[in-house]
Structure 1
Amino acid sequence: MKLGIHAYAWCSQWSNGTLDLIDRVKRLGLDFIEIPLMTLDTFDAAAVKKRLADAELDAVTSTVLLRGTDITSPDPAIRAKGIEYLKDCARATAEIGKTNLSGVVYSEHVKNANARPTEDEWNWAAEGLREAAVYARELGVQIGLEPVNRYESNLINTCEQALRLKAMIGEPNIKIHLDTYHMNIEEKSFYEATKAAGADLIHYHICENDRGIPGTGLVDWDAIFRALAELNYAGYAALESFVDVTDNMNTWVWRQLAPSGDVLVAEGVRFIRGKMAEYGLG
């Protein structure tokens, strides 16, 4: 299993001014950095690719759809804009020489919904992602669907729902991305949800139930690592905690989750490395 960290542990927006985070992650002895693509206008693919190569560090990318790029919108112009955005993200991922893009890529993040999703919304999500997946496959990029909790999406809250959408899309490069923070709210079992993802699991967000230091809260880490060990999981797993609020997506960081970002990272990495060793995933 490859252990990394989301850049949002230290910054609220990616730009050339945050390229030094690549070196910082390397010094921490981690395997990769997760780079947000929320603001593509500040994403310099050539600079990122060079810095990753110089540091000999791996990377994945992630994003969420917002109101103007919601591929489940009843407005066909917004759906088209969302599909183009997903293609742009796939291209940005390929341009840094990487293969994994994931996140809330199936509908608007924190959608103002007051009803369960309609069949039209399911179908629009599948159609949009199918077009994006075909484009991404030509670039060698796979797209992970990340279920999030009921307060952030009315479409995909569980692994089972993500697998349903994957089946509807029908493209081989559509995969699954799980997140323990959301699983703690929505799943009946960390173990069963992880096992259900199976060989389609390409990314795992390692978060405590309050997004604080892993191992200090309510998440059943033994159930998670038992499932990952049984899957012989060799994919990506990133600590995901946020240090601040940001105007490009909701993070809801209203209080200090740890004494500092560095303490959160150091203690979180120590805990997760211990679990990896315990379950033979080192």
Structure 2
Amino acid sequence: MKLGIHAYAWCSQWTNDTLDLIDRVADLGLDFIEIPLMCLDTFDAAAIKARLEATGLAAVTSTVLLADTDITSDDPAVRAAGQAYLQDCVRATAAIGGTSFSGVIYSRHPGILAQRPTAMHWSRAADGLRPAARLAGELGVLVGIEPVNRYETYLVNTCAQARQLMALIDEPAMRIHLDTYHMNIEEKSFHDATLLAGDDLIHYHICENDRGIPGTGQVDWDGIFRALAAINYQGNAALESFVDNTDNMNTWVWRQLAPDGDTLLREGVAFIRAKQKEYGLS
């Protein structure tokens, strides 16, 4: 299993001014950095690729759909914009040598409805993602559906629902991305949900139930690592905890969850590395 960290641990938007984070993550001995694609206008693929190659670090990417890129929207123009954006994200990922792109890529985030989603919403999500998945297959990129909690999306809250959407899309590049923070709210069992993802699991967000230091809360880490060992998981797992203050309060972190980001990273990495060793995934 490869261990990395999301750039949101330090920054609220990726630009060339944050390229030094690649060096910082490499110096920490981690395997990869997760780069957000929320603003492709400030995503300099050539500069990122050069810095990654200089440090030997790998990278994955992720994003969420917003109101103007919601592929489940009633507005055909918005759906078309979302399709184009997802394909641009796949191209951006391939351009830096990344092989994994994932996130809340199936509906607006955060999003609510006046009623439960219908077959129409599922069909729109599948139709919106299918061209990106097809392009990803051509470019050697895997695309991960990330289930998130009911307060952030109305569509995909569980691993079982991610599988449902995968089946509708029916493209070989589609995969699953799990997140322990959201699983803590929506899944009956961390262990069973991880097993259900199985060989289709390509990315795992490692978070405590309050997004604080892994190992200090209620997440069933032993259940998770038993399942990861059972499927012999060799994919990526990224710490996604937000402690240091940024101007991106869409992380919804309203209080200090650790003394500082360096403490969270140091103690969180030590905890996860110990679990990797304990379960033979190091």
Shared fold (TM-score greater than 0.5)?
yes
Cα contact 1:206–1:238 (8 A) shared by 2: yes
Q: Which amino acid aligns with 1:93?
A: T
Q: Which residue of 1 aligns with 2:12?
A: 12
State yes or no: 1:191 paired with 2:191: yes
Whether 1:203 aligns to 2:203 is yes
User: Unaligned stretches of 5+ in structure 1?
Assistant: none
Report whether the alignment pairs 1:259 with 2:270.
Answer: no
**Aligned match of 2:149:** 149
CA apart distance, 1:244: 3.6
- Whole-Å separation in 2 of the counterparts to 1:10 and 1:151: 25
Q: Is the 8 A contact 1:9 1:261 kept in 2?
A: yes
Give me the whole-angstrom Cα distance separating, in 1, the residues matched to 2:277 and 2:115.
Answer: 44
Q: Distance in 1 between matches of 2:95 and 2:73?
A: 29
Gaps of 5+ in 2: none
SS of the equivalent of 2:197 reads helix
Question: 1:241-260 CA distances to partner (integer Å, 9 max, x unpaired)?
Answer: 1234545x721011111100
Structure 2 residue 178 is matched with structure 1 residue 174? no
The separation in 2 between residues aligned to 1:205 and 1:113, in whole angstroms, is 26
CA distance in 2, matches of 1:77, 1:187: 34
Cα distance change of structure 1 residues 157 and 18 upon mapping to structure 2, 3 Å threshold: same
Matched residue type, 1:241: S
- Which position in structure 2 is the counterpart of 1:61? 61
Shift of 1:188: 0.1
For the residue of structure 1 that corresponds to 2:171, the secondary structure is: coil
Question: C-alpha separation between the residues in 2 aligned to 1:201 and 1:32?
Answer: 17
Distance 1:232 1:133 in 2: 25
The 8 Å contact of residues 13 and 246 in structure 1, kept in 2 or not, is answered as no
Contact 2:159 2:178 in 1 (8 A): yes
Aligned to 2:91: 91
Aligned position for 1:47:
47
Number of the residue aligned with 1:3: 3
2:124 equivalent in structure 1? 124
- Given residue 185 of structure 2, which amino acid in structure 1 is its aligned partner? I
Structure 1 letter corresponding to 2:59: A
Which AA in structure 1 matches 2:9? A
**What is the identity, as a one-letter code, of the residue corresponding to 2:130?**
R
Equivalent in the alignment of 2:137: 137
Q: Deviations over 1:108-135 (max 9, x none)?
A: 0111322211111100000111111112
3-state SS of paired residue (1:250): helix
Give the structure 2 partner of residue 225 of structure 1: 225
Q: Percent identity?
A: 70
* Partner residue, 1:107: 107
AA matched with 2:139: L
Amino acid at match of 1:236: N
With normalisation by structure 2, the TM-score equals 0.98
SS of aligned partner of 2:176: strand
For the residues of structure 2 that align with 1:264 and 1:18, how far apart are their CA atoms? 20
| Distance in 2 of aligned mates of 1:73 and 1:235 | 33
Distance 1:114 1:220 in 2: 33
Whole-angstrom CA distance in 2 between matches of 1:260 and 1:186: 28
Residue identity matched to 2:236:
Y
**Residue identity in the other structure for 2:154:** N
Question: Counterparts of 1:150 and 1:22 in 2: how far apart (Å)?
Answer: 33
1:63-90 per-residue CA deviation (whole Å, 9 max, x = no partner) reads 0000000000011110000000000100
Corresponding pairs, count: 281
Equivalent AA in structure 2 for residue 231 of structure 1: I
1:21 maps to 2:21: yes
